Structure 1
Amino acid sequence: MEIKVRELSNGVKIPVVGFGAYKIQNENDEACNVIKNAIKAGYRSIDTASFYENEEGVGRGIRESNIPREELFITTKVWIDDDGYENTLKAFDKSLERLGLDYIDLYLVHWPTENIKETWRAMEDLYRRKKVRAIGVCNCTIEQLESIIDFAEINPMVNQVELHPKRTEKELLKVCKRHNIVVEAWSPIMRGQLLSNEIIKNLAKKYNKSEVQIILRWHLQNEVIAIPKTKTLSRINENIDIFDFEISKDDMEKIDSINNDERMKPQAYENLYKVTKKEIV
């Protein structure tokens, strides 16, 4: 199966569907085996993070897949405890070592903090030194994203955010498109909370697809890169099988109508954003 790709602002190509490694463990070769299964199923984009504590297993799965490195797109992220210029550079080196790779395709700031200026300066340096092929951010609001753009010498190429039919982020999508920033959706199916929704269930029957496939196709048609995660082999295969049908405009609008700007764990945002409420200057 050939995965379609999109171009980032610097011309680097990124697959339109990725495989998320969140909550996949290093223990008992779980991460290694799950990643190998995902690559065998056709995924070419793998998304992990230092915070997930599985970069070693992910890296081993990548190597044992026997797929040429240049055919894969690997993402990892710097955690908030490692923000700032020097800390970010050190965190990157540790991630690279754990993954066992020579370079990273996409390096992301996992959450914005009050040190975002210095963190972003490190990201730009890593990009200039060709340690990474692209750089970006996660969980940035419109205001935070535009603040970064104001001081950045190199704009973020990706913004990875919580996005699903209950949180469509239409305004953020418009702003990102205006700045040529690709949007990625973490938790694109809201960790299964949307699968019992009547609109989704009815459309699954109409298109003879699973509820998950309907939601992932909705992302694809909204020009959002979805990063589903699962350990189950059947679902690994199912989640990537979304290129042989198209949801009509009317049905896309039905899915849009589910939106209520809901976050899965709002308290997590409160805890993390407490360091970003200061004005970025």
Structure 2
Amino acid sequence: MTTGYRATKLGIDNSLIEAGLNYFDLMLIHWPMQDDLGTYRALEEAYQAGKLRSIGVSNFNRAQLGEITANFQTVPVLKDLAAKYDHTTAQVMLRYLTQRQIMVIPRSTNPAHMAANINIFDFALTAADLARVQALDEKFSLSGWPSSMTLDEDY
């Protein structure tokens, strides 16, 4: 377990060495700890150095997530789209997938989240916004994806 800038920076480097890899596809702060800003700063620097392909957080509440997004450059395109369409980032992603005719099976036991998951048909992403989300896909896979999983470039 690492928390704070120095411990996280060292932990990333040590983990890469132990795994024999040049980068990790994803690294998250699993839950809020004592120094989330320092921890996220280490993640962002590793992302910018190419050691991490994606970074993020898990189990953060709205205020904690707001603190991260207010202090760092590496935040999702989805946040901008959510503000533009006055919906949540989850709703934007669900709408993106349904507009692309990709089957979605969201999971929630929270009635408010279930209602939000259904409430995605009162807006449509523009072609430009669809392209912004599509551009997040780095089209990189370790291996073994069936050809049927490859998406066309056409919308």
TM-score (norm: length of structure 1): 0.30
Q: Which has the higher strand share?
A: 1
1:157–1:181 contact (8 Å) kept in structure 2: no
1: CA distance between counterparts of 2:45 and 2:34? 19
2: CA distance between counterparts of 1:157 and 1:91? 28
- Within a 5 Å distance, the mapping from 1:94-133 to structure 2 comes to 94-133=14-53
2: CA distance between counterparts of 1:157 and 1:111? 22
2: CA distance between counterparts of 1:114 and 1:135? 19
- Within a 5 Å distance, the mapping from 1:1-281 to structure 2 comes to 79=1, 82-155=2-75, 175-177=88-90, 221-222=104-105, 259=110
Aligned-pair identity (%): 32
* CA pair 221-106 structure 1, distance change in 2 beyond 3 A: same
2: CA distance between counterparts of 1:106 and 1:93? 14
String of CA shifts for 1:89-116, please: whole Å, max 9, x gaps.
1111121122221111111112212311
2:4–2:34 contact (8 Å) kept in structure 1: no
2: CA distance between counterparts of 1:122 and 1:156? 17
Structure 1 unmatched runs, 5+: 1-78, 159-173, 183-219, 225-254, 262-281
Number of residue pairs the alignment of both structures matches: 96
Counterpart code for 2:5: Y
1: CA distance between counterparts of 2:58 and 2:93? 12
* CA pair 128-121 structure 1, distance change in 2 beyond 3 A: same
Structure 2 unmatched runs, 5+: 79-86, 95-102, 113-155
2:44–2:55 contact (8 Å) kept in structure 1: yes
TM-score (norm: length of structure 2): 0.51
String of CA shifts for 1:28-79, please: whole Å, max 9, x gaps.
xxxxxxxxxxxxxxxxxxxxxxxxxxxxxxxxxxxxxxxxxxxxxxxxxxx3
Q: Secondary structure of 2:69's match?
A: helix
Counterpart code for 1:132: L
Q: Secondary structure of 1:108's match?
A: strand
* CA pair 115-125 structure 1, distance change in 2 beyond 3 A: same
Runs of 4+ in 1 over 3 A off after TM superposition: 174-178, 258-261
Give the superposed CA RMSD. 3.2
